[in-house]
Amino acid sequence: MSNFIRLLLRRVLAMPIMVLGATLLVFLVMSLSTADPARLALGESATPEALENYRERFQLNDPLLVKYVRYLGGLVQGDLGESFTGVPISEMVARSFPITLQLTFLGLFLGVIIALVLGIIAALFRDKWPDQVIRFVSITSLATPSFWLALLFIQWFGNIPGGLGWFPAVITDWVNFSDDPARYINQVTLPAVGMAIPLSGSLTRVVRTAMVEELDRDYVRTAIGAGIPKHIVVARNVLRNALITPLTVLGLRVGYMMGGAVVIEMIFNIQGMGNLIFQGIMRNDVNIVQGVTITIALAFIVINLVVDLLYVLVNPRIRSI
């Protein structure tokens, strides 16, 4: 059995423990809510007998441990429970989660492209004016909140009075890429760019530092001294070795990107997980908030597993451990 397979098995075997911890934490936090599901479902005019019958019917009087085990059993089967209005939460998540994933990975893709271009240029022109300009741009981007950028983009480029009208300020009807590619690109441009810029600011600095460290290694000077063109050395060796550290940082940033997508969705009225959790909060529906939070937590765990495997594939030294 190769070292890669052993590392893969260790990561996979650790996943149930992480999933159990995440679900337990979310369940315990949500259990602290003072909202009464029976009262919210039946209304303020419900009689005490009706409220008690509702609690017995939906097993709300059971001990916390019993409710958690029952919830965990349903979660294994893909059942996230029901909202206080009786709608299955898994159906809500199935409609909303793909939209949030699309926004997250579009912002991630744009942010990585920008960071790679700027980070490589800054490293190749170390301490010269391009490096100084890129440093300033990256620090400014890092310090700029994505939601504030989104509001600025709406004001500048949105179809509102005073804006250029290039992009929709509010997305009332989500369109998939397969249905209308042009309209899809038009509706996701502002949200994706708003998420990408802060990510590119932090990642550019990491890429630059990793590239500078790699360019100072002996094998680079030896290869260039042997007559190999510098651009070939950078493309074939330096870039691959330098990407190991940014890849690790990127795995940690994916979770924050997904959280940022939730806020961006609320600004642009996108019917994703952000809008869903906002509805749950406004209705005081703990089950919706719990279902959305657990889904995002599980997605974060899975994405980090994938990043760990990519890290192992990129870094030969890890494969030899």
Q: For position 245, what pLDDT does the model report?
A: 75
Confidence of residue 1 (pLDDT cuts 50, 70, 90): very low
Paired strand residues for 82: 88
The packing angle between helices 89-124 and 286-314, to 10°, is 40
- Mean pLDDT score of the chain: 79
Give the pLDDT mean for 109-116: 88
Q: CA 314: distance to chain centroid?
A: 22
The tokens of 271 are what? Answer: 């019917």
Average pLDDT over residues 280-291: 79
pLDDT confidence bin for 316, thresholds 50/70/90: low
Provide CB contacts within 8 A for 13, sequence distance 6+.
none
- Mean pLDDT score, 267-283: 81
pLDDT in tens, 133-156: 988 988 888 788 777 888 888 888
More confident residue, 230 or 108: 108
Q: Taking 60 as the threshold, does the pLDDT of residue 320 lie above it?
A: no
Nearest to 211 by CA among 252, 245, 248: 245
pLDDT category of residue 48 using cuts at 50, 70 and 90: confident
How confident is the model at residue 319, as a pLDDT?
52
Count of C-beta atoms within a 10 Å radius of residue 93: 21
Which residue pairs from 292-295 have beta carbons closer than 8 angstroms and sit at least 24 positions apart in sequence? Answer: 292/89, 292/93, 292/96, 293/26, 293/30, 294/22, 294/23, 294/26, 294/27, 294/75, 294/80, 295/80, 295/93, 295/97
* pLDDT over threshold 60, residue 175: yes
Per residue in 205-258, pLDDT (tens digit) is 888 888 888 888 888 788 888 877 777 877 777 777 777 777 777 777 777 777
Nearest to 116 by CA among 230, 275, 279, 234: 234
Residue type, 81: G
Q: Is residue 151 a contact partner of residue 233, using CB atoms and an 8 Å limit?
A: no
Mean pLDDT of 19-40: 76
pTM of the entire predicted model: 0.77
What's the rounded Cα separation, in Å, for the pair 203 and 228?
Answer: 29
Amino acid sitting at position 312:
V
Contact 271, 174 (CB under 8 A): yes
* Tokens representing residue 209 in the block: 């530092």
> What span, in angstroms and rounded, lies between the C-alpha atoms of 37 and 54?
9
